[in-house]
Amino acid sequence: MEHLNGNRLIGKTVIVTGSGSGKTGYGIGQAIAVLFACQGAKVLVVDVNEERGERTVDAILGNDGIASFYLADITNSNECKNVIKSVITNYGSLDVLINNVGVGGLGSVIDLDENQYKNVIDTNLNSMVSMSKFAIPAMVENGGGSILNMSSFVAIRSGGFGPAIPYALSKAGIIALTQQMCHDHGSDGIRVNCIAPGHIYTPMVENRVDENLRDLRRKAAPLQTEGTAWDIAWAALFLSSDEARWISGVTLPVDAGLLTASPLSMLDKLTN
């Protein structure tokens, strides 16, 4: 991990939700947690799965970083409050919150499962509201801070691989949340930004995407490459660092140019 090391977050304390590790590769949350620790941050890894969370902590400690794990279901507002209490108790302050936790959800408005719909909204969107609610006062006491919310390109354009109303709606809400929080809390020194990942290949999607679909995902974007969790982590590092001190309210697509491409531009690629 030597190539990840730097000093862009020296002295910063960071919470990364949904940062547990899969067994087969790095997810977005884990990559962010590991990279931020390599850049000098003290990281609180938050996940609903203890085994996965501890794997991320072990990866950080193995590279001489500073990290600890907090087991929490952040769809519960009281648990969100306790996460913030834990980071203050252990590290003394909070500088950066990465709202990364998320789950998928399929279905059109006609055939969606209402219980799944509620779970997706609670997990992907409402948890960010609750985490931010308790994080912002702690950041204000520390002179300001940065919040980064993880959305998706499907919040801006349909994913094109079937109906996914619960997922798309939750991710679109995250962009609106980002802009409103930027407006509401900027005078307190709180920056709020958002990343909209494109077709990222992570453990979360590997069992849902066969090689043919992976090829289509690559061809859909101008760069014709598939993203990894590290592509998102490096973008998150910039937006969370002091280098981005004058950036707030932004939704940054990290998508190989996908959102610039017309569906018609794929036709020649699909026939060749």
pLDDT > 70: what percent of the chain?
95
- Quick: pLDDT tens for 216-256: 888 888 999 999 999 999 999 999 999 999 999 999 999 99
The single residue of 26, 91, 117, 167 carrying the catalytic annotation is: 167
Q: Is residue 269 part of a domain?
A: no
Residue 8 maps to a domain: yes
What mean pLDDT, rounded, does the chain reach? 93
User: Letter for the amino acid at 24?
Assistant: T
Whole-model pTM: value is 0.94
Give the distance between the most distant pair of CA atoms in the chain. Answer: 59
pLDDT at 202: 82
E strands present in the chain: 13-17, 42-47, 66-71, 96-99, 145-150, 190-197, 251-254
Section 187-202 average pLDDT: 96
| Structural domain includes residue 48 | yes
Does residue 114 have a pLDDT over 80?
yes
Q: How far, in Å, CA of 258 to CA of 157, rounded?
A: 10
pLDDT at 134: 99
Residue 272 has pLDDT above 60, yes or no: no
Q: Tell me the C-alpha distance between 101 and 132, whole Å.
A: 13
Encode pLDDT of 138-175 as tens digits. 999 999 999 999 999 999 998 666 789 999 999 999 99
Confidence band for 268, pLDDT divided at 50, 70 and 90? low
Q: What local confidence, expressed as pLDDT, does residue 233 receive?
A: 98
- Gap between the Cα atoms of 102 and 28, Å rounded: 10
Whether 160 maps to a domain, the answer reads yes
Q: Is 167 a catalytic residue?
A: yes
Q: What total number of domains does the chain contain?
A: 1
Name the token pair of 61.
């400690």
Q: Is residue 237 part of a domain?
A: yes
Q: What is the CATH number of the domain that holds 155?
A: 3.40.50.720
Q: Could you give the CA distance from residue 225 to residue 227 in angstroms, rounded to a whole number?
A: 7
For residue 262, pLDDT over 80 is answered with no
Strand partners, 98: 16, 148
**Is residue 57 situated within a structural domain?**
yes
Q: Domain of 248?
A: 2-257
Q: What is the pLDDT of residues 205-219, one digit of tens each?
A: 777 777 888 888 888
**Of 85, 263, 250, nearest in space to 174 by CA:** 250
> What does the alpha-carbon distance between residue 34 and residue 1 come to, in Å, rounded to a whole number?
9
CA-nearest of 184, 188, 89, 192 to 149 is 192
